[in-house]
């Protein structure tokens, strides 16, 4: 790595709520908060983070100015206080899996360099859109604070970062909180230990898991505010046992297609089988997908198909499969091109497409909810995310669903004073 470049991640002076009230003030990331959810979080506490990250203003007012006013008031009233020294903030999130069981994911909040992707030190895998970036930039300009974090993955081949975080969480936490069934603990690590952990996290390029729009917004802000050239980030080791990507199943609403006609077309590409009623669809899907692309397609009437890609399937003839080999190798790219689009084009009415990470919800949508079909997928793997990002490719929409989401409100990062390296 070029020695002239600043450290990729550094400790910073965070701003936090009093530990006793954290559960009441946490909120999910802004982009997963529906209007009815916003009302629910807002009612929990007048200082809940949702008032800042999804601000509201009186009719005709400026919602971003309102967020800045609230933030200034909370600071003046002592609701939020700046920590006395630079630190990294280690986080353990305990969560339940949809299929049962629990995991714990470890990560670390640090201030990561907000620099253009051309530098290669922070790598994306998604395409962003102008409207969300304009929204987040307006909020950042008004508040001059990273109110919530992006989520980054560190390759960590030797597990040094994972081990260092594991040592921290062996001690008692500084904060304990809960949000929507996710138990969260936080440790404040200062001094040379903070610098050591931050250095471990920045030894190799970091990969954006969630928060592409916010990262690009931070880069845009830094162009006109060079003193604010870092962005609040939760960095998680790619080797962490709790790192979890759920599949994003497709649910199709509209006129029911004719399964037999679709099967005839799919046989060019897939080995097609029928699943017995009551079969464990996720288990069968995981088995089929161990060494090749596979999916399960569910139609009304207990009609479930397994599709496993043939070894000699002529994928080179498929248009719009992806611009790089890494993208073309993704299950989601292949299933979207060969299966989902076929179903969408087979009905007699304009279809609608929705997404869920919950297999039971996808099945229920077809069996009880009037959906025309559901397509169940295996999850994208972390190494595939890295491969796509390294190739400069872009994943299809809704390719990854990392859980749990990083809560907003554990720590904030005021901008304007360059973070110092210890």
Tell me which residue range forms the domain holding 291.
248-378
For residue 383, being part of any structural domain is answered with: no
CATH number (domain holding residue 58)? 3.90.1530.10
What is the C-alpha to C-alpha distance for residues 304 and 279, in angstroms, rounded to an integer? 9
What is the reported pLDDT for 356? 94
Residues 115 and 179 both lie in one domain: yes
Instruction: Say yes or no: 219 and 180 in one domain.
Output: yes
Same domain, 233 and 268: no
- Tell me if 420 is assigned to some domain: no
pTM for the whole thing? 0.94
Residue 274 and residue 126 share a domain: no
Same domain, 252 and 210: no
**Same domain for 289 and 255:** yes
Backbone φ and ψ of 182, nearest 5°? -100, 120
The CATH number of residue 332's host domain is 3.30.1760
Which pLDDT score is estimated for 1?
45
Statement to judge: residues 277 and 175 lie in one domain: no
> Is there a single domain that holds both residue 72 and residue 203?
yes
Inside any domain, residue 396: no
Residue 220 host element (H or E)? helix 212-224
The whole-number pLDDT of residue 418 equals 42
Residue 391 lies in a domain: no
Mean pLDDT by 10 residues, the chain (422 residues): 79 96 97 95 97 90 96 98 98 93 97 97 96 97 98 98 98 97 98 97 97 97 96 98 96 89 94 84 90 95 91 90 92 95 79 91 91 95 97 93 97 73 30
Decide if 58 is inside a domain: yes
Supply the pLDDT for residue 421. Answer: 34
Residue 348 has a pLDDT of: 54
**Could you give the number of structural domains in the chain?**
2
Cα separations in angstroms, 150 against 30, 60, 207, 225, 410: 11, 31, 11, 19, 13
Q: Are residues 199 and 297 in the same domain?
A: no
Is residue 279 in a domain?
Answer: yes
Confidence at residue 419, expressed as pLDDT on a 0 to 100 scale: 41
Of 307, 290, 287, 298, residue with least CA distance to 356: 298
123 with 260, same domain: the answer is no
Residue 26 lies in a domain: yes
**3-state DSSP assignment of residue 413:** strand
| Statement to judge: residues 233 and 261 lie in one domain | no
Closest of 176, 198, 206 to residue 93, by C-alpha: 176
Say if 35 falls within a structural domain.
yes
- Same-domain check for residues 141 and 190: yes
């Amino acid at each position: 790595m070029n020695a002239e470049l600043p450290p990729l991640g550094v400790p910073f002076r965070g701003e936090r709520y009093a530990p006793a009230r954290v559960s009441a003030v946490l909120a999910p990331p802004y982009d997963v908060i529906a209007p009815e959810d916003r009302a629910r979080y807002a009612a929990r506490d007048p200082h809940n983070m949702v008032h800042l990250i999804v601000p509201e203003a009186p009719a005709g007012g400026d919602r971003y100015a309102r967020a800045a006013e609230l933030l200034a008031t909370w600071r003046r009233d002592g609701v939020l206080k700046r920590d006395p020294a630079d630190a990294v903030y280690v986080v353990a999130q305990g969560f339940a899996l949809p299929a049962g069981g629990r995991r714990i994911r470890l990560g670390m909040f640090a201030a990561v360099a907000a620099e253009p992707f051309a530098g290669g030190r922070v790598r994306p895998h998604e395409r962003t859109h102008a409207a969300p970036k304009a929204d987040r930039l307006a909020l950042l300009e008004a508040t001059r604070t990273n109110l919530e974090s992006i989520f980054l993955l560190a390759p960590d081949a030797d597990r040094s970062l994972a081990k260092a975080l594991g040592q921290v969480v062996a001690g008692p936490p500084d904060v304990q909180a809960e949000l929507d069934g996710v138990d969260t603990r936080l440790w404040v690590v200062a001094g040379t230990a903070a610098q050591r952990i931050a250095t471990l996290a920045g030894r190799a390029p970091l990969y954006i898991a969630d928060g592409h729009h916010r990262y690009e917004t931070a880069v845009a802000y830094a162009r006109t505010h060079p003193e604010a050239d870092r962005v609040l980030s939760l960095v998680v080791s790619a080797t962490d046992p709790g790192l979890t990507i759920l599949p994003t199943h497709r649910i199709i609403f509209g006129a029911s297609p004719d399964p037999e006609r679709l099967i005839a077309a799919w046989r060019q590409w897939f080995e097609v089988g029928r699943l017995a009623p009551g079969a464990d669809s996720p288990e069968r899907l995981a088995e089929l997908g161990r060494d090749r692309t596979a999916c399960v397609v569910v139609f009304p009437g207990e009609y479930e198909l397994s599709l496993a890609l043939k070894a000699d399937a002529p994928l080179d003839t498929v248009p719009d499969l992806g611009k790089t080999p890494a993208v073309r190798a993704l299950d989601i790219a292949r299933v979207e091109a060969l299966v989902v689009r076929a179903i969408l084009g087979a009905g007699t009415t304009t279809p609608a497409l929705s997404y869920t990470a919950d297999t039971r919800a996808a099945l229920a949508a077809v069996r009880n909810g009037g959906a025309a079909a559901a397509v169940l997928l295996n999850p994208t793997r972390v190494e595939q995310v890295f491969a796509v990002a390294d190739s400069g490719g872009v994943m299809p929409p809704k390719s990854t669903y990392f859980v749990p989401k990083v809560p907003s409100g554990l720590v904030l990062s005021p901008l304007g004073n360059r973070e110092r390296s210890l």
